[in-house]
Amino acid sequence: MTKTVPDILRIAVAQLNPTVGDVAGNLAKAREARADAARQGADLVLYTELFLAGYPPEDLVLKPSFLKACEKAAEDFAKDTADGGPGVIIGTPLKRKSGTHNSIVFADGGKIIAERYKLDLPNYGEFDEKRVFQAGPELQGPVNFRSVRIGIPICEDIWGEVAVCETLAESGAEILLVPNGSPYYRAKIDVRHQVVIKQVIETGLPMIYANQLGGQDELIFDGASFAIGADKTLAFQMSQFEDAVDVTTWKRRGETWVCSEGPMSEIPEREEADYRACMLGLRDYVNKNGFKNVVLGLSGGIDSAICAALAVDALGEERLRTVMMPYRYTSKDSLKDAEDCARALGCRYDIVPISEPVEGFKHALTQLFEGTQEGITEENLQSRARGTILMAISNKFGSMVVTTGNKSEMSVGYATLYGDMNGGFNPIKDLYKMQVYGLSRWRNSHVPPGALGPSGEVIPKNIIDKAPSAELRENQTDQDSLPPYPVLDDILECLVENEMSVDDIVARGHDRATVNRVEHLLYIAEYKRRQAAPGVKITRKNFGRDRRYPITNRFRDRG
């Protein structure tokens, strides 16, 4: 008896927020999404890369008990499909004779009908999959699902040079479904679209791109799942930074599957996207690590102000405590600005003066420091006193300390170890100073979707307008020791993001001595960055995962 070839296929994309290592919790989310998809009439549910494990699982993959738990969850989920509802494609690590693989399990009718293994393992930037996985031994062909031949490349299989998609097309695939764990950086959606369009052109097949959502340490997965039709146009676009289970309807038109129904969400502009990435990263880091609330030092400056806004937006006003810690150099403007910011956000605001501890340190060191001039050492005592107070509050009340240094400062070492660098997580770690200003202005005019904070001006205008200062000595401003931030940020972006030579940066119009000095400061601050809190990745090259320079390093680019 000849099987009827379907003319309609309803594919649900489960764009969800798994937690690395929470295999039971991830399975529960997968089951809930499948039930939702079934109510919407789906035939098949596509989950994201390594969903049951959470992505990226890193060295958890080397733990046999973790692999067993993931495989057991996949087997249990496969049994669920005996109910006659939708089949599932779900990512999980699998240990086989050929090695441990980044895999998918395809289940239908109560059993696993196929396994597929990732062939092209990424080993650049934030990825180091070759450390823990082995590439699939060979490319296996499409899977026959209810008489539709489905090709399943996994993430990097469509990004690299291995001709996975072309081979699947040559093997008879009718449509390509791709589970992904693609982290966010600015304009990444455009890059993904171009990668998929290239594969569509080469194969002639439509492709569905399902991407993970959520924060995992420094990485932000922004969702924004989509499909490109065989005609190279956008077939559907899911939302960015929001979980969703969307069912898309595909109809057979001759030899081609065409999407006739699916979401077409608007993608946020650059500043909104960056802000929402920082917000999501902070929310998930705090919640997934079990912190009830957070605390930060609110100085009256723009960095702590935007971090406070992000914390309230991500967690709610009741979960943020702000602390102003004034010393003799703290201006009246800063005291007023910090209080106005806390009042606008509706969060708790405490004042803890640091005169006594700072003077106590100075007194204790009087004999040792006799005959020396006051300078940076004494300035850093102020920062370290503040850091100690914040950590004491953290210890006493279980609040995670949010640290507030921006990328410009961290690049050139304009931060104090065991002082303002104290903390568990930094939502603006990968934002340059001028980007902090831009996002602050944007937030004063917008409330991002999902934010728990108020509308209106939450960062007082005076904070944005005044000259930035650490206020560690009389009449101090950042520009006393650093180039103007527009100049500094451009030089740093050239050095860090683009790895440009000093000559090329000077050719852009910068002073050579300034470029040399900034390059020197960048290199000698590496030891500080190694001890910094993790923070949200926003750019193509953040400190830590992407940019790994040696601490001991005598190289300087002098032409």
Instruction: Calculate the alpha carbon distances from 361 to 201, 297, 369, 377, 385 in Å.
Output: 68, 20, 11, 11, 9
Are β-strands 244-253 and 8-15 bridged in parallel, bridged antiparallel, or unpaired? antiparallel
- Name, in order, each residue with C-beta under 8 angstroms of 226's C-beta and a sequence gap of 6 or more: 192, 193, 196, 208, 209, 234, 235, 236, 237, 238
Which of the 8 DSSP states describes residue 315?
A: H
pLDDT of residue 478: 61
546-548-552 Cα angle (round to 5): 165
C-alpha dihedral, 35 to 39 to 42 to 47, nearest 10°: -30
What is the Cα–Cα distance from 411 to 518, expressed in whole angstroms? 9
Over the stretch 133-160, which tens digit does the pLDDT of each residue have? 988 988 889 999 999 999 999 998 898 8
Reported as type and span, the H/E element at residue 443 is helix 433-445
Q: Which of 29, 71, 155, 174 is catalytic?
A: 155
pLDDT of residue 1: 46
**124 among annotated binding-site residues:** yes
- 118 as an active site residue: the answer is yes
The distance between the two most distant Cα atoms of the chain, rounded to a whole number of Å, is 99
pLDDT of residue 335: 94
**299 among annotated binding-site residues:** yes
Q: Which of 29, 118, 407, 433 is catalytic?
A: 118
Say which residue the tokens 């007023």 belong to. Answer: 336
- 255 as an active site residue: the answer is no
- Encoded tokens for 75: 């087997």
Checking phi first, is residue 74 left (phi over 0); if not, alpha (psi -120 to 50) or beta?
A: alpha
pLDDT of residue 548: 81
pLDDT of residue 77: 98
**80 among annotated binding-site residues:** no
**188 among annotated binding-site residues:** yes
**265 among annotated binding-site residues:** no
Read off φ and ψ for residue 117, nearest 5 degrees: -120, 140
What is the Cα–Cα distance from 37 to 30, expressed in whole angstroms? 10
**440 among annotated binding-site residues:** no
- 259 as an active site residue: the answer is no
- Name, in order, each residue with C-beta under 8 angstroms of 181's C-beta and a sequence gap of 6 or more: 48, 49, 50, 55, 56, 155, 211, 212, 221
**For the chain, which ranges sit under pLDDT 70?**
1-3, 468-480, 559
Reported as type and span, the H/E element at residue 191 is helix 188-203
Read off φ and ψ for residue 357, nearest 5 degrees: -65, -40
C-alpha dihedral, 290 to 24 to 100 to 139, nearest 10°: -120
- Name, in order, each residue with C-beta under 8 angstroms of 121's C-beta and a sequence gap of 6 or more: 102, 129, 130, 133, 135, 156
**437 among annotated binding-site residues:** no
**404 among annotated binding-site residues:** yes
Instruction: Calculate the alpha carbon distances from 556 to 178, 194, 196, 483, 522 in Å.
Output: 44, 37, 40, 19, 11
CB 154 within 8 A of CB 120: no
Reported as type and span, the H/E element at residue 409 is helix 407-412
pLDDT of residue 247: 97
**334 among annotated binding-site residues:** no
CB 17 within 8 A of CB 213: yes
**What proportions of the chain, in percent to the nearest 5, are helix, strand and coil?**
40, 20, 40
pLDDT of residue 231: 94
Instruction: Calculate the alpha carbon distances from 270 to 32, 187, 439, 442 in Å.
Output: 32, 7, 10, 11
CB 9 within 8 A of CB 250: yes
The closest of 481, 326, 304, 316 to 401, measured between CA atoms, is 304
**383 among annotated binding-site residues:** no
Q: Which of 29, 49, 129, 174 is catalytic?
A: 49
**79 among annotated binding-site residues:** no
Over the stretch 219-244, which tens digit does the pLDDT of each residue have? 999 999 999 999 999 999 999 999 99
CB 213 within 8 A of CB 6: no
